[in-house]
Structure 1
Amino acid sequence: MSKEISIKLQLSTLPTTPGVYQFYDISEKILYVGKAKNLKKRVSSYFTKNHEYGKTKVLVKKIVHIKHIVVPTESDALLLENNLIKKYQPRYNVLLKDDKTYPWICIKNERFPRIFPTRNLVKDGSEYFGPYTSMKTVRVLLDLIKSVYPLRNCSYDLSDEKINAGKYKVCLEYHLGNCKGPCEGYQSSEEYQRQIVEIKEIVKGNFKSSVHYFRTQMKELASEMRFEEAQEIKEKVEVLENYQVKSTIVNPKINNVDVFSIISDESYAYINFLQLSHGAIIRSHTLELKKKLNESDEELLQLGIIEIRQRFKSHSTEIYLPFVVTVDKELKVTVPKLGDKKRILELSERNAKFFRMERFKQLMVTDPDRHTNRIMAQMKKDLRLSEEPRHIECFDNSNIQGSNPVAACVVFRNGKPYKKDYRHYNIKTVVGPDDYASMEEVVYRRYKRLIDEEQSLPQLIVIDGGKGQLSSALKSLDILGLRGKIAIIGIAKRLEEIYFPGDSIPLYLDKKSESLKIIQQLRNEAHRFGITFHRVKRSKAAINSELENIEGIGEKTTMELLKTFKSVKRIKEASLEQLAAIIGMSKAKKIHNTFH
């Protein structure tokens, strides 16, 4: 049976219910795992659509066998898809790799529970809070708890029998005031457990019950004239309130909420997660996803929400998102438009952007090729190019009131200046200040030579100027038969408009766009290179004209003098004998008489 008939047969038997599908190659190796609301419709689309994205075409060619698992709902399909991706890590799926173990706060299952950080979860009845995204957060919380509540840190078995038998003695922690001495019966189990209940609320982000209890206690002590003890309680209240103020980001009524946002480019997506409790962020994490099949932001965010909520064992009943996605019918999905909810979503997006920028900076050092590939892919998308612009050339004209017209061509390879290929041009066929004609001449000369010498042509030409300069450059490409073979754009200085051939409406790229930054860098480099050459030419012209205006003094004499004296100023200051030694007495007298 041929592959086509086999695939058709497998497609015909697929159900129209929600589920998860798996693609296998000829060696029964899993290629891809996907979810669907309608299995038959979704899987069939792979074989009936004309896929533009290259990797999808390659995937479809490799598929030999299709397996599926039917589930009751779309939400179940999402969960199952996530678990199968993590288990098999198929080649064409979004990469969900994270070997990191996160820290937890453990409240030990004991008569007088100890509280400590851990990365290992032991099923002994102890309570674990977390996981937290950094040990720093855990330490800050534990320091806060220890500064307010005196807790034991010894590992003794504090059973009633052993305490009553006087088996233990209080240690230095008791004398320092860090522990109330339950080992000798100085603190009851009931009082200790009340502290543990309040600590659990603090870890969850709720300070209300602890502050209320301490305020009541403080008033009672003050009414009994026990002012020193009341002051100690007051200090604890202040510690709790200060921490609460610092950690509260939005309205304290926003409780038990997860916030998700996504920032993506051609190759990667970054999903930020914030967990809110009583207006405070108690958890923050950014997940990096590597795209494999040009997945949409909606697909990636769906997958990210499931993965993050599983990883951090979130039980929040509401989530804030930048746009609606299907996750779980029991979850309330809110897309904030304004107010505190919108502010917290914007904060999440800012966190995702900062994480992305940090990753870029690290990659520039550790993996420059990946950084370059990402920028090239982004430029291809932003500038609507048919291929990545690995080789870009930019042209700029320089003249002052039509004098000494010159042009510059700068070359970037893989997004970086390639100074070896920079070129200067003296304008030969244009008289006066005509930028359009100058651009036409230079572009023609540049590519005529590259064609004659059989050198590689660029994928993109950038013209410093608007529609006029772009049209002039196009004339030269037409003459050389290169129109349509090389992409060309013009960038106008005023508002950084980008013009395309035949399109009167310019493109405006985001001011922070990396594609725009590279185009600006090209334009600025061409301008700098052109101005430098123009300045040198102007300077030479001024020197030559000053000496050559003297009757009987030509270019050859001028060059001999400049070779020795280096500047016109020194020639003017030279004595008759010094000048005569180089160019002879007759010419020396003419120059000396002119300047003296």
Structure 2
Amino acid sequence: MTIDLSTIPEEPGCYQFKDESGNILYVGKAKNLKKRVSSYFQKKSIAPRTDILVSLIRDIDTIVTSSEVEALILENNLIKKYQPKYNIDLKDAKSYAFIQLTDEPFPRIGIARERNGKIKGTLYGPFVSAAERDQILKFIKQTFHLRTCKKITKRACLRSHLGTCAAPCIGKISEPEYQYLVKSADLLLRGKNQDLISSLKEEMQNFSDSEEFEKALVLRNRIQAIENLSERQYVQRQKKADEHIINYIISGDMVYLILFHVERGSLTSKEEFVFQETEDFLDEFILQYYATNKPPNELILPIQPEQGIQEYLMHIRGTNVTITVPKQGEKKHLIDLAYKNLEVSFFTGKMRLSELGEALHMDNPPEVIECFDISHLRGTGTVGSMVSFRDGKPDKRNYRRYKIKTAGPSDDYAAISEVVKRRYSRLLSENHPMPDLILIDGGPGQLKSAKTVLDELNLSIPVISLAKREEEIYVPGRHLPLSVQKKSPASLLVQEIRDEAHRFAITYQRKLRQKQMKE
């Protein structure tokens, strides 16, 4: 039987090989799912066991994650839940370590390796990297001076003498004051750390300006440690209740819907549905699905359903059911992750390109798209970037970066003109093919600058711009943006390309600044 690999996404995540009965044979993880899964079918394996596994595969299911770290932990969860026959080396694998704040009047901070350990408290993580975990733990101890001793004695410890412990043991701090430090550490560990990062960056810049580079380096490492907390596992959270996460995409007159099953904090499976759009399709889906499936403790949705839905679910379950529509935080991340999986499952690059071509009234979908972005820091160190996407995927061999030579400080219009002119003057002189579409990061002003240059070069390449605040698409000759939904596949593709151009520009600017600091 031939396995269709064309639908496998080129994203990080987990894959599940299934036999003809739907039983899971093997669970694996990958930085690039398509490359990893394809490798099983490209040539005969050295290991006979792997050849047998491949011969039994009849279906492949994938779950996309936001990072390799999430893929690692999701793989761990899935193996523990299903115990596939061909994952013998990982069946007895231990869970990754957590950071724990204990439930005591003066909580201590430390490491826990089990969810249901003997010591009660709040767990954060898990952390795949022990070095990262230890760096964060050390940072929190040094910053918030939380105790680490197992028992509170009446003698001051070495950390107290060194000034790295608040020393509740000898009464140096009251319980309310200590609890304030605990809450600060809790916010940091839960990822609500932007204010702290901003403060540290400002302090780091001050050290850099005064040429105290060693102190600036210490702060930079601390900032990186905090930023790495975003690599926490969002799909494995400390929950005793079960959750279902539902999200959807409407394309044409069809609804593409996904349902994630989260059991006691661990993402375990997904279901996908496609059906005709109706006025109250989400309410209808919930009513029909839970007529034959037990509702979870909590249902997480992108929009609020009608009022009677919650009572209906509570009646079926027999206990309370919470309906949540998150705007931020971990649950919002799960909603977004569900949406991303929908995009990967149903909206491949060519489909998104086709929808974009229709939205722009192009004769054919834009096979090659080039996007420009300008980046500077308070008007200094201005650089430009150009990224190329082919068939909806990054074509990194054709990425280009530019030092701005002629534009003045903070003059984004002139900077856009310069990089567009340099790019397409060269393509003309070298007789290289032009892109099918040009995307500019910015509003009507940046778009006009780019269009003027193209007219001067006698190039009739379609050009559009994407304004960041409202993610609105502008075309030349129109004062108002196009009526393209921000969550439509076409708009999301344009946003993805713009974000990649922005990332590439920022990376180049940082590289130049680091070089200047070293010099």
Which category of TM-score, normalised to the shorter sequence, fits these structures? 0.3 to 0.5
Larger Cα Rg: Structure 1 or Structure 2? 1
TM-score w.r.t. structure 1 length? Answer: 0.31
Structure holding more helix per residue: 1
Larger RCO of the pair (alpha carbons < 8 Å, separation 6+): 2
